[in-house]
Amino acid sequence: MLFNSWHFVAFLLVVLSVAMWLPRYGTAWKLFIIGASCYFYGQWSYLYLGLIFVTAGVDFTLAQRLGRVMRPSRLLALSIVANLGVLAVFKYTNFAIQSINGVANAAGAAFAITPLDIVLPVGISFYTFQNMSYTIDVYRGQLKPRTSILDYATFTTFFPQLLAGPIVRASEFFGQLDKPNPIVWRDLQYGLVLIAAGYVKKVVLADNLAPSVDAVFNSPASAGAWQSLLAVYAFAFQIYFDFSGYTDIAIGMALLFGFKFPKNFDYPYMASSFQEFWRRWHMTLSRWLRDYLYISLGGNRNGLSRTMANLMTTMVLGGLWHGASWNFVIWGALHGAYLALERMLLSRMAWWRSTNVFAKLLIRQYLT
């Protein structure tokens, strides 16, 4: 079920109409939201809906046991392997097979592995990262494990952010579920404005840019230089309007239910550096990669060379998260290289400024 369909609009109106009469965040409300979310996801596949509950059940169970065992790191490792294993099977198996076949073909080998008939579950990258953030936060002592599977199921299946984010952390969701803020008219107004803006971005802008972009990208040889250049810029705005429009709708819908989700885009094309760009583009993914991957690798604590290596690793894996192809790996590597080079240049500039100031002080002290 797509956000830009009349089916979804009718679904949302019905869900809001029923939810507003139920005790807010009570058992009946949670059960209704879980049921509505299951119907929402089930319009794509009820079969893969079970995958969401299986992975959620694994993380819920492991998180409860983290504080009761001698070596909680083993349970954390099990949670990470389970989540990334499921993601790898569905998203990267055929990518690995195609890569092996490509290498074999280049080497002149006569064999080829047949790709598997696997359908990528919608939203798997998003709810996998949300589940992982929960168990990692519990392991780090930043969050207490939930005692109610109903609460955790509500967090995992909540339909506004189920398919494409924003990536909401468990601490953000449960904090509002346990201590709900009053739903004020200002938040409702802002939510409706966000939803309207999201639909304009998605339906009016992104969907109307797509045909001209596809025409050039599908037959680049027949396009001229200026037409190709315009198509590249049009594609940049198409993906921005499409993705940011979707998350605007999701954040706006969450406000109608009383939840404040984190901002996901902040005028990224206004950024003046690559570092600033990644603080503005898909912000919830950027902070996830920073807090759970980059900092875990050591961040910028072990010198410039290690920092650059950590940036490269983070961005390559971030590129692979976006899609299972070498194009995304190269895209991530390029952004990692840009960030590393920018960090190196900034460190050199900082050194030059510091030494320059020191030189000025020496001149002022001894030569004047």
The rounded distance, in Å, linking the Cα atoms of 247 and 257 is 15
Could you tell me how far CA 195 lies from the centroid of its own chain? Answer: 20
Which pair of tokens denotes residue 311? 């940036």
Which pair of tokens denotes residue 54? 């299986």
The rounded distance, in Å, linking the Cα atoms of 236 and 214 is 13
The rounded distance, in Å, linking the Cα atoms of 99 and 92 is 10
Closest alpha carbon to 167 in 113, 131, 218: 131
The rounded distance, in Å, linking the Cα atoms of 209 and 276 is 26
> Could you give phi then psi for residue 175, rounded to 5 degrees?
-60, -35
Cβ(195)–Cβ(166) under 8 Å? no
The answer to whether 7 is a known catalytic residue is no
C-beta atoms surrounding 18 within 10 Å: 14
Set 7, 282, 322, 335: catalytic member: 322
163-196 in b/e form (b: 16+ CB < 10 A) is: bbbbbbbbebbbebbeeeeebeeebeeebeebbe
Which residues are known to be catalytic?
322
